[in-house]
Chain A
Amino acid sequence: MVLQALRDRPGLLAACPRAPLDGAAPATFAGDPGSETVPERLSRVALSCRPEIAVADRDRAIDFATLLRASDGLAARLCAAGPAARAWRSCRMTRSGPS
């Protein structure tokens, strides 16, 4: 986390977009995450983090590993229950219409 203090403004900090964070890309909302999708990112994060504890949802808390497992199962059931994946892609509410 790289923050920049401002002269003459005590207590006010700006996120410093030019300073790389741990070798990562500059902190910006303008970047392009590349060719990933959300499920792929979730899988990648889960694999890289190797959590020791997975927090279940009984206490209204969840982590990515629990989520990945739970959502995998749910997605499979949703696919089985629904009119298959095609239905999602042709959802009428999308701006671009059926694809």
Chain B
Amino acid sequence: MAILQNDPIRSVVTIFASARAAGVSANRDPEAPADYLRHQLALLRPDIVVADAQTRNRCAHDGARWLTDLPAPEDEAAPPPAGGWPVLRPGDPIGINFTSGTTGLPKAVERSHRMALTGADGFGAICAIRPGDRVALFDPLSFAGGRAAAMWTLLNGASLRIFPLRRAGAAELVAWLRRHRPTFVKTTPTAFRGIVNAVGGQTLRHALEGLRILSFEGEPCRAGDVEAFRRHAPDGCLLRLTYSATEFGNAAQCFLTTDFVPDARGVPAGFVNPGYSIWQGLPARDAAEPVVGADGTAEHVLHLRGAGVVRDYVGAPGLTARHFLPPDARGHAGFVTSDRGFVDKDGLLFVSGRSDSLIKLRGFRLSPDEIEDAICRMLPVVQAAITLAALEGEPPDAAPERLVAHVVLAEGARCDRAAFRAALARALPEPAIPSAFLSVACLPTRPNGKVDRAALPRRIPAAAAGGRRGGAPRPGTEATLAAIWKRILKLEEIGRDEAFADLGGSSLSALEVVLEIERSLNRALPDTILSEYPTIAALAARLDDHGHPPDPVLSHLRPGPGARLVFFSPLDGDGLGFVKFIPELPPDTDVLSLKCRALAQKDAALPSDVDRLVPILSDRIAALPPRRPLILAGNSYGGVIAFAMSRALAAQGLEVASVLLLDTYGPGCRRRNAAAAPVADSAVADATVTIVPGKPVVLAPTASDLVLIRADAPNGLACTPDYGWARMTTGTFRLLQIEGDHSTIMHKDSVPIVGPTLRELIRSLEKPHDP
């Protein structure tokens, strides 16, 4: 019997009525597309279809008796059939469950009375479902999870409450929860995110008062979901997580309290249930399509065996042969999933994603689940879905090659592609960072509440992939370069400070760009020039040197008419590490970088000690067209040079408004465990810094303002919080402490903190001084 009814309670009654009449029932979503339903009815070949009249008219199916006039559940019971109720055995089938169809058309499996009762017993015992419990479902019963939940709820004596989330919407849910006071809520993480989003800044804690278990099923639970649970669940409530599927029932579960904090492995799926075993094995794929990971080893997926595993897909012997393992001596069948994951030594299962949803992009295999997880953890994003997309306007046969994140933003959040990419760089490798973010009101979902990635658009507006950082390219070389970039990256707009990789550029398109520039300018360029000069402004400034060999000392990273910032890289740096901060600066800032490789004796053109180097560098800066204000910045030992330069430039009549020290150890630092290796030599008036062995630098106070941005991680030094810099200025001293260590302060993670500090500093210095 096929059940196609909109009223979920009537569907429940019909499921049990069918069982009472020794029937085998399958319930499907009556609102599914008609051709979808016809396909499923053709697979089921039912004798009877119980349906709404509207559904009957929409998808007529021959060969079945259609019943549209069944009595309402509260009507008087009819007398038993003549001859009594049919005889049933525990092994008889009770229903056909369908998978959600995430990977194609839904597949059907048969479940027996024994399986239904085994699940109900296990569930009732572990979750202590009893009479008096009120179990709330938000999803339709047309999927295995909803059908099973109706079984275990009622067979353990609890009452079932169903909120039609899809039709009524999340806004009405709060009042419904207050009225029904559920003690157990079963839903998908996606549906719960939508509910949390719908109530805005409010908490659901009061509406969920009395709730003892919130159960997430059907999808992986992410760290953001655990956080939502902590925020919205009442005291004492547990979060139940499961690893379950139509084919194998409930194979693992665990409970979290509000004390739980996910570790680097993410949120677990559960402890393997008694009666189940889970292991890794080769995926069930055609031999013609070997699955090999990026490291060249075969990719593994989860296999399992247990009492709840069915034996086959109905009417699909080919799929059955690929996915099901023959029963063992206990009669337990096995199943080959498409999920990637592992079981740790304590029997705790972690599922990292599906092997069949992996995205292949530029030779990398990316897991959408992991990327979406990182987005929801690290950005003000409620929900995210990852796809590959092409740009609108590209040829119809253009391969989708842009990693696009469709995001539902948290209340009040703004979709800032550059900031999002910078934040994600802390958690994801570069190829896994989306090149475009599209803000949407909600993500498309399947009827069961899971996100439907297949329904996401495969073409996005070009404006969503472009960026305007730094403003429009200037006439001349910048405009020529921008035209080439736009043509090859198929973008409508590019800001002069947008980095090539941020715009979706790949190594292949970089080569195209270089060849095109070579043709356009009739000159040869190194293939790697885009990695050295990644923005239009930087590249144009380099090319405008008209073929002069690269300056061994000075790089003009971005010309501008405004304030001048000169960056000093540490010992063997080339100054390019500062490029990532440039988009954060005011757009008219003139940015230069002085290379300090000489200090590491890698460049014989310059002296290798600070005392002799500083006058040479000062002369180079003094020879440039003047800009005001002048700011010097340096990272690590580069900060020492910047500091020393401030006095040298002042001696030449150039006022240095401020010196920014990026975790530069100063005269207040000593190594904790090596008295013979002082960072600062207190013997020389507490003003000597020795970082390069044998080359102490004696410092004298500067009149420039000093700003120290220091990393907060222990650095093995005995030092005051200001590293001893506060007393080295007769101007003002500011200290800012940020997360990280000495090696990460110039990392892209620090851009969101260091960048705005630089911007504010420059803007404050540009303001006319109050006389």
Query: A residues touching B (Cβ–Cβ < 8 Å)?
Result: 1, 3, 6, 10-15, 17, 21, 24-42, 45, 48-49, 51, 55-64, 66-89, 91-96, 99
Contact = CB atoms under 8 A, between A and B. Distances in A.
Interface residues of B, number: 106
Contact of A66 (B73, B116, B117, B156): B73
6 contacts: A15-B253, A27-B122, A32-B114, A37-B117, A63-B159, A99-B92
Nearest to A41: B155
B44 A38 contact: no
For the complex, would chain A's binding face be called helix, strand, loop or mixed by DSSP majority?
mixed
B268 interface: yes
B314 interface: yes
A29 B118 contact: yes
Interface string B148-172: 0001001111111111100000000
B121 A88 contact: no
Interface stretch (B28-36, B79-87, B217-225, B403-411): B79-87
A73 B76 contact: yes
B119 interface: yes
Interface stretch (B6-14, B358-366, B505-513, B582-590): B6-14
B259 A74 contact: no
B128 interface: yes
Given A42-B155, A60-B163, A73-B71, A29 B17 contact: no
Contacts of B125: 21, 24-28
Contacts of B155: 38, 41-42, 45, 64
B16 A71 contact: yes
A58 to B, nearest CB: 8
Contacts of A27: 122, 125-126, 274
Given A29-B122, A30-B307, A10 B16 contact: no
Contacts of B121: 25, 31, 33
Given A70-B13, A76-B78, A38 B117 contact: yes
Contacts of B70: 74, 77-78
A37 B162 CA distance: 25
Contacts of B151: 38
Interface stretch (B45-53, B295-303, B594-602, B722-730): B45-53
A25 B10 CA distance: 33
Interface in B599-641: none
B69 to A, nearest CB: 9
A32 B116 CA distance: 11
A11 B257 CA distance: 5
Contact of A78 (B7, B21, B114): B21
Closest 5 CB pairs of A and B: A30-B275, A11-B260, A73-B77, A85-B86, A70-B73
B159 A37 contact: no
Contact of A94 (B110, B123, B163): B110
Interface string B63-107: 001010011111111111100011011101110100000000000
A21 B28 CA distance: 36
B128 A21 contact: yes
Contact of B8 (A41, A60, A88): A60
Given A36-B90, A78-B23, A79-B21, A31 B13 contact: no
Contacts of A87: 47-48
Contact of A29 (B72, B156, B306): B306
A10 B260 contact: yes
Given A41-B155, A74-B17, 8 more contacts: A10-B260, A12-B257, A27-B125, A38-B155, A70-B73, A74-B13, A76-B77, A77-B71
A74 to B, nearest CB: 3
A20 B307 CA distance: 20
Interface string B288-328: 00000000000000000011100110110000000000000
B65 A37 contact: no
A60 B161 contact: yes
A74 B117 contact: no
Contacts of A15: 126, 253-255, 271, 273
A6 to B, nearest CB: 7
Contacts of B75: 70, 73
Given A61-B180, A64-B157, A83-B47, A38 B113 contact: yes
Contacts of A3: 238, 255
B65 A29 contact: no
A37 to B, nearest CB: 4
| Most A Cβ at <10 Å: residue of B43, B73, B151 | B73
B48 A61 contact: no
A61 B160 contact: yes
B24 interface: yes
Given A10-B260, A38-B116, A61-B161, A75 B21 contact: yes
